[in-house]
A and B are shown apart, each in its own frame.
Chain A
Amino acid sequence: MALFDPKGARAETRQVAGKSVAVLLAPRLVRRGFLHDVFYGLKSLLTGMRVTLPYGLTTSRIVTRQYPENRGTLKMYERYRARLTFIRDGQGRHTCTGCRNCEKACPNGSIIIETAKGAVTGKNEVQRFIWRFDACTFCNLCVYTCPFDALEMKGDFEHAVFDRRLLVYNLNSYAGPHASLWDKVEDEEQRKTLATKISPYDGKVPLAGTSMAGCPARAHGEGGAS
């Protein structure tokens, strides 16, 4: 018998914490004399070598997924959370009303929302939906609590940057109302003024809690006026 006996575990019942529990007792490794041990020791080593040999000689067991070569075929699972985005309809309109539920739900203050009364709609409109990619933990609570299905998590992951400040930006591409309000505005002229286009790095990003408080949002140069 070898030193380690895979079937050497003993089953029994024990009284623990006021309950009887079915336990499995670990097999003990016993020494049985010099020659026996040397022989079975050698045998165990050869067993290990037999296990690894097929791996060393064949290529069929290789499981590597070659990123970036496989980039064309690489699909993330649809639920995979790696980046927060707005859900947009075909015309690029979002459904965020600026209700701040996500801001409140966020455990670490990664979401900062600036809102204003819309001139046309008179409703609360999101001006800037600032997301701190550098601090987000992708806990999904913002998406989970959003009552308007305005947010989703996307699975793209290629976001490495040279400057940390590039990781704080606006999610909304326009400052303006919720998608359904667009259709209610009939006047063409009013529709044009309904929304103002903003770029991801427009405006000062309030990086509260970092050593770079109030630094410009742009990578180089001045921060845009908000």
Chain B
Amino acid sequence: MEANELQEVVLAFASGAKVREKTDRPSLTVPAASLPDLLAKLKADERLSFDMLLDHTAVDWLERGVLELFYQLFSTRHGHTLTVSAEVPREEPVAPSVSGVHLIAEWQEREVYDMFGVLYEGHPDLRRLLLDDSWVGHPLRKDYRDDHMIERPK
């Protein structure tokens, strides 16, 4: 399936979805609340069969005040890819968990929680993944600072 064709098919699925510009593969931006539902549909659909959540991460757009969650989907049957993104506010970042659809999302979401502080609703075991439980803050946020970090001298 060609990229445009793929986007068309997926757009029909998702309500409130927009094509995300400036990406190098078929991409959509969807409302965060619709994520689990959409991913489940994308997985189940015969033509799409996005059965592998290759990657899930977030980007902290500090100026816009949002955290953009990225889901890289891959179909082991058809070999095509899709990027789904959703935005949550920086101040109160809550997103639904997709761990019911893709098993690995459990850890990927824990990592994103750890690094960005995104709270996932319905996550079975939302703990920090890489940092100590006593860690303060979420280091991959753009405004994160701690005493340990030093800037490289210019």
**Would A and B touch once assembled, by the CB under 8 A criterion?**
yes
Are B150 and A17 touching (Cβ within 8 A)? no
The reply to whether A18 and B78 contact each other, CB–CB distance below 8 Å, is yes
> What count of chain A residues pass the 8 Å CB interface test?
10
**B152–A109 touching, CB < 8 Å:** yes
Least CB separation from B52: chain A residue: A17
A112 to B153 alpha-carbon distance, docked (Å): 10
Chain B min CB distance to A14 (Å): 11
| Complex contacts, B75 vs chain A, CB 8 Å | 17
Query: Once the chains bind, are B153 and A17 in contact (CB under 8 Å)?
Result: no
Question: What residues on B are CB-neighbors of A17 within 8 Å?
Answer: 75-79
Instruction: Let me know if B102 is at the binding interface, CB within 8 A.
Output: no
Q: Which residue of B lies closest to A109 (CB)?
A: B152
Q: Is residue B80 within 8 Å, beta carbon to beta carbon, of the partner chain?
A: yes
Closest residue of A by beta carbon distance from B76: A17
- Tell yes or no: A208 within 8 A of B by CB: yes
- Cβ contacts under 8 Å, B80 to chain A: 18
Q: Collect the chain B residues with CB atoms within 8 Å of residue A208's CB.
A: 150, 153
Residues of B near A112 (CB, < 8 A) are 153
Q: Which of B23-49 contact A (CB under 8 A)?
A: none
Bound state CA distance, A19 and B76, in angstroms?
10
Residues on the A chain within 8 Å of B150, using CB: 208-209
Interface string of B61-76 (1 = CB under 8 A from A): 0000000000000011
Residues of A with C-beta under 8 A to B152: 109, 209
How distant is the Cα of A106 from the Cα of B116 in the complex, in angstroms? Answer: 29
Return the chain A residue nearest B75 by Cβ: A17
Give residues 68-111 of B contacting A (CB, 8 Å).
Answer: 75-80
CB distance from A104 to the nearest CB of B (A): 10
A16 proximal to B (CB < 8 A): yes
Contacts of B77 in A (CB 8 A): 15-18
Cβ-closest chain A residue relative to B74: A17
Q: What is the bound-complex CA distance between A120 and B76, given in angstroms?
A: 69
The complex places the Cα of A15 from the Cα of B49 at a distance, in Å, of 14
**Which residue among A17, A109, A112, A208 has the maximum number of chain B CB atoms within 10 Å of its CB?**
A17
In the complex, what distance in Å separates the CA atom of A103 from the CA atom of B77?
48
A50 to B42, CA, bound (A): 55
Residues of the B chain whose Cβ atoms lie less than 8 Å from the Cβ of A109: 152-153
Docked CA distance A16–B52 (Å): 13
In angstroms, Cα B80 to Cα A15, docked, is 14
Chain B: which residue is nearest A107 at the CB level?
B152
Give chain B nearest CB distance to A75 CB in angstroms. Answer: 37
Which residues of A lie under 8 Å from residue B76 when comparing CB positions? Answer: 16-17
Query: Top 9 nearest A-B pairs by Cβ distance?
Result: A17-B79, A18-B79, A18-B78, A109-B152, A209-B150, A208-B153, A17-B76, A19-B79, A16-B76
Supplied contacts A17-B75, A17-B79, 17 more A-B pairs, CB within 8 Å: A15-B77, A16-B76, A16-B79, A17-B76, A17-B77, A17-B78, A18-B77, A18-B78, A18-B79, A18-B80, A109-B152, A112-B153, A206-B153, A208-B150, A208-B153, A209-B150, A209-B152
Chain B residues close to A by CB (< 8 Å) = 75-80, 150, 152-153
Interface of A toward B, CB cutoff 8 Å:
15-19, 109, 112, 206, 208-209
Ordered by A's residue number, 22 sampled pairs between the chains whose C-beta atoms are within 8 Å are A15-B77, A16-B76, A16-B77, A16-B79, A17-B75, A17-B76, A17-B77, A17-B78, A17-B79, A18-B77, A18-B78, A18-B79, A18-B80, A19-B79, A109-B152, A109-B153, A112-B153, A206-B153, A208-B150, A208-B153, A209-B150, A209-B152
